[in-house]
Amino acid sequence: MKKLFSILILFIIIPLCAFAQTERDILLEIVKQQATNNAKIDAMQKQMDTRFDSMQKQIDTRFDAADKRFDDANKRVDILLYVMLGILGGLFGVIGFIVWDRQISMKPILQENKDLAKEVKELKESQGQMANTLKKIIEIEPRFAGIL
């Protein structure tokens, strides 16, 4: 029975050892395949990182260019604003000069008008005095009444 048992064990263990050897080979092949896959994945990651970095640089340069264009547009708007403020200030200056000039040029005319009004008033008063004087003369000398 021992022989039978030992033969039976041999027939069971030998295939198991052979099976273990094939499993070991398969596991080693899987480990090698996994190592090569890991290397490929690392290479792909590096490649993707370089792609992303280059894309990021391109995006950054585009944004920098857009920022530069916005800055240029802002400078143009600022220049336009300064020009408009200059024109508006010049317009107000001209209007102020016109008003000031009118006031200055009207002062002598207004003063002359006042002087003339004063002379007219004085002439009316003197005319009234002359009329009174003539009436007194006519009362004194009635012969002048026909002349006047």
pLDDT tens digits, one per residue of 6-58: 665 655 655 555 556 777 788 888 888 998 999 999 999 999 999 999 999 99
What does each C-alpha distance from 78 to 40, 74, 132 come to in angstroms?
56, 6, 79
User: In whole angstroms, what is the distance from residue 146 CA to residue 55 CA?
Assistant: 122
Run of H or E including 31: helix 2-140
Average pLDDT over residues 124-137: 85
Largest separation between any pair of C-alpha atoms in the chain = 199
pTM above threshold 0.75: no
CB 139 within 8 A of CB 132: no
Average pLDDT over residues 84-101: 95
Instruction: Provide the domain limits for residue 23.
Output: 2-145
Check pLDDT > 60 for residue 131. yes
Confidence tier at 2 by pLDDT (50, 70, 90): low
Run of H or E including 94: helix 2-140
> How many domains are contained in the chain?
1
Mean pLDDT of the residues in the chain: 85
Check pLDDT > 80 for residue 148. no
